[in-house]
């Protein structure tokens, strides 16, 4: 049995802004089911949704600050979550990265460097918790200092750094570096320095014993200039210690057969019942309740990564076809504004909900016929997995984890029943439109469509296999 400290800035259902939370709220459960002793480390944000008892455990002194550690559990599990309590940093309303008005925290470097220092203290059993980690599993830049700081410790645990997104690096100035009292020995291009700046993510990439990304394809892509965000050289240099492990999903939370958020439960055996969710979704989005008009859904952060500009540019042409489009998301104000405008122009075809809404995200997955995900890059992507499980066929760009998890509907993949969605290559309006038209055409062939839905719903996206791969990695280290 390994003792694993799983360090993350978010974990569902306690706090979530994106897919990292889904992973941190489900992979540790899968590891625990494989008999491992996993503890999640998370900041004690003011906005945590705490459902289980929370207990004070200890106070750690690090970097001249007293930090309290509280303990709770992931709801309805035995997985322990240690919460890093430092009210000056985590006590105000907002999310992990922005205040309640959406402005990035000005002291992110201070917040997450303290968080990283606490991770080091706990993992080295200097926190009065009577627990020393064998492995520290860090995720994204917010935990990137941990592998770097641990290189300076004797008898340290092994370190794994998982990249969920290269586009967010935690870059700060050289002045910040020294204000944070970080050790001078780590200020060099082989550790935390990146072009005379402090790079949190580089700490993970340069110093962890092993690096993973959340899909095999993205692990290759980030070694190229197109996707490596300036770190492709270092990533390529470390390619022997870098691999991709595809994300699983929580198949209990995302189960159309039992999902309490949707209008009608269904399985691949009684797919006709899915129609009730479509009607409920159309009602909720004030669209005409038309059972036979194909309904395309999209959920996501409205940022460049997700190809939202392509969607906006495509919708003007798409409305000439029989179809409806619903979107749930928030992010870039310009995108929000343009999407709203389109919904005013075409109220019978396009409807947009701006905001974060967990219940509605389940209903979109259950009620739509197709799910659009034209990402410019996508480390793994979870919504295309949820979609397949709900028989809502994804239309995706061939990039990152989308390429690894969606099988394009072509004559031979339809014949061997592996087809589970629609895939296009170029990030252009033309390529996307052609592929959506291909999906709309196939939608009119009920038998073929149902077979695709069944293929998709029968795929195994559970964590079991991927959790085993992580466990092999921990054992190997
Ligand atoms: P990313 O992490 O890049 O945002 P993923 O596809 O990995 O993309 O995960 C996104 C997660 O966040 C999914 O669980 C998705 O359902 C959820 N999500 C994104 N936007 C919203 C929203 N507006 N309301 C509810 N859930 C959302
Ligand atoms: C990131 C990526 C997304 C991935 C998620 C969880 O936010 O953008 O593709 O699914 O992390 O690993």
Q: Could you report the per-residue pLDDT of 266-292, keeping only the tens digit for each? A: 999 999 999 999 999 999 999 999 999
| Distance in Å, CA 397 to ligand 1 centroid | 17
Measured CA to CA, the distance from residue 40 to residue 51 in angstroms comes to 16
pLDDT of residue 210: 98
Inside any domain, residue 262: no
Of all atoms in ligand 1, which is nearest to the CA of residue 17?
Answer: 12
pLDDT of residue 472: 98
Inside any domain, residue 189: yes
Inside any domain, residue 264: no
Residues 175 and 241 occupy one common structural domain? yes
How many folded domains does the chain comprise?
2
Measured CA to CA, the distance from residue 402 to residue 377 in angstroms comes to 9
Residues 322 and 432 occupy one common structural domain? yes
Inside any domain, residue 436: yes
The mean per-residue pLDDT over the stretch 93-100 comes to 95
Of all atoms in ligand 2, which is nearest to the CA of residue 20?
Answer: 6
Inside any domain, residue 263: no
pLDDT of residue 243: 98
Mean pLDDT taken over the chain: 97
Residues 95 and 194 occupy one common structural domain? yes
Residue 18 CB-density burial (10 A; 0-12 exposed, 13-18 middle, 19+ buried): middle
Treating both helix axes as pointing N-terminal to C-terminal, what angle do 308-318 and 429-443 enclose, rounded to 10 degrees? 60
- 10 Å Cβ neighbour count for 460? 9
pLDDT of residue 144: 98
Residues 238 and 152 occupy one common structural domain? yes
Q: Is the dihedral of CA 249, 301, 380, 311 positive or negative?
A: positive
Residues 238 and 350 occupy one common structural domain? no
The mean per-residue pLDDT over the stretch 34-60 comes to 97
pLDDT of residue 123: 98
Residues 316 and 373 occupy one common structural domain? yes
Confidence of residue 413 (pLDDT cuts 50, 70, 90): very high
pLDDT of residue 281: 98
| Distance in Å, CA 353 to ligand 1 centroid | 14
| Distance in Å, CA 249 to ligand 1 centroid | 13
Inside any domain, residue 256: no
CATH no. for residue 363? Answer: 3.40.50.2000
| Distance in Å, CA 61 to ligand 2 centroid | 33
Residues 470 and 432 occupy one common structural domain? no
| 329-342 pLDDT tens trace | 999 999 999 999 99
Residues 438 and 469 occupy one common structural domain? no
Residues 171 and 144 occupy one common structural domain? yes
pLDDT of residue 349: 98
pLDDT of residue 344: 98
Residues 330 and 470 occupy one common structural domain? no
Residues 160 and 302 occupy one common structural domain? no
Inside any domain, residue 236: yes
Inside any domain, residue 261: no
Measured CA to CA, the distance from residue 157 to residue 171 in angstroms comes to 26
pLDDT of residue 30: 98
The mean per-residue pLDDT over the stretch 311-332 comes to 97
The mean per-residue pLDDT over the stretch 298-303 comes to 97
Q: Are 161 and 208 in contact (CB under 8 A)?
A: yes
Range of the domain at 426: 271-457
Q: Describe the strand order of the beta sheet including 370-373 as a list of residue ranges.
A: 350-354, 324-331, 295-302, 370-373, 393-397, 422-424
Residues 382 and 299 occupy one common structural domain? yes
pLDDT of residue 390: 98
Ligand 2: residues with CB < 6 A are: 18-20, 23, 164-165, 214, 247, 378-382, 401
> Token match 């309006």: residue?
429
Closest residue by CA, ligand 1 atom 12 = 18
């Amino acid at each position: 049995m390994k003792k694993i400290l799983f360090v993350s800035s978010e974990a569902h259902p306690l706090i979530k802004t994106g897919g990292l939370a889904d992973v941190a709220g489900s992979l540790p459960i899968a590891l625990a089911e494989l008999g491992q002793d996993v503890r999640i480390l998370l900041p004690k944000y003011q906005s945590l949704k705490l459902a289980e008892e929370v207990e004070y455990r200890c106070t750690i002194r690090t970097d001249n600050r007293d930090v309290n550690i509280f303990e709770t559990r992931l709801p309805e599990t035995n997985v322990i979550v240690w919460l890093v309590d430092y009210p000056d940093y985590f006590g105000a309303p907002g999310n992990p990265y922005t205040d309640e008005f959406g402005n990035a925290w000005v002291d992110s470097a201070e917040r997450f460097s303290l968080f990283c220092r606490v991770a080091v203290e706990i993992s080295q059993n200097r926190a009065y918790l009577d627990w020393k980690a064998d492995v520290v599993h860090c995720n994204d830049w917010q935990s990137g200092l941990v592998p770097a700081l641990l290189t300076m410790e004797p008898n340290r645990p092994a370190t794994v750094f998982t990249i969920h997104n290269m586009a967010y690096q935690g870059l700060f100035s050289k002045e910040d570096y020294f204000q944070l009292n970080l050790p001078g020995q780590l200020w060099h291009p082989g550790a935390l320095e990146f072009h005379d700046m402090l790079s949190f993510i580089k700490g993970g990439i340069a110093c962890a014993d092993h690096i993973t990304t959340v899909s095999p394809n993205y692990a290759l892509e980030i070694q190229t200039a197109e996707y490596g965000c300036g770190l492709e050289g270092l990533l390529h240099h470390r390619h022997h210690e870098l691999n991709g492990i595809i994300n699983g999903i929580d198949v209990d939370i995302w189960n159309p057969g039992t999902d309490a958020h949707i209008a009608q439960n269904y399985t691949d055996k009684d797919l006709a019942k899915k129609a009730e969710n479509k009607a409920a979704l159309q009602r909720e989005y004030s669209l005409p309740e038309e059972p036979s008009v194909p309904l395309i859904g999209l959920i996501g952060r409205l940022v460049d990564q997700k190809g939202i500009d392509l969607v906006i540019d495509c919708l003007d042409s798409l409305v000439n076809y029989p179809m409806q489009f619903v979107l749930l998301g928030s992010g870039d104000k310009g995108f929000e504004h343009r999407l709203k405008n389109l919904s005013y122009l075409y109220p019978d075809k396009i409807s947009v909900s701006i905001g974060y809404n967990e219940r509605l995200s389940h209903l979109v997955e259950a009620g739509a016929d197709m799910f659009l995900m034209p990402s410019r890059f996508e480390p793994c992507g979870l919504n295309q997995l949820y979609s397949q499980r709900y028989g809502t066929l994804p239309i995706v760009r061939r990039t990152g984890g989308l390429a690894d998890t969606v099988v394009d509907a072509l004559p031979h993949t339809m014949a061997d029943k592996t087809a589970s969605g629609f895939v296009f290559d170029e990030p252009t309006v033309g390529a996307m439109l052609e592929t959506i038209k291909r999906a709309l055409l196939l939608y009119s062939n009920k038998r073929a469509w149902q077979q695709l839905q069944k293929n998709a719903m029968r795929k195994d996206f559970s964590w079991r296999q991927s959790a085993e791969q992580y466990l092999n990695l921990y054992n190997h280290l």
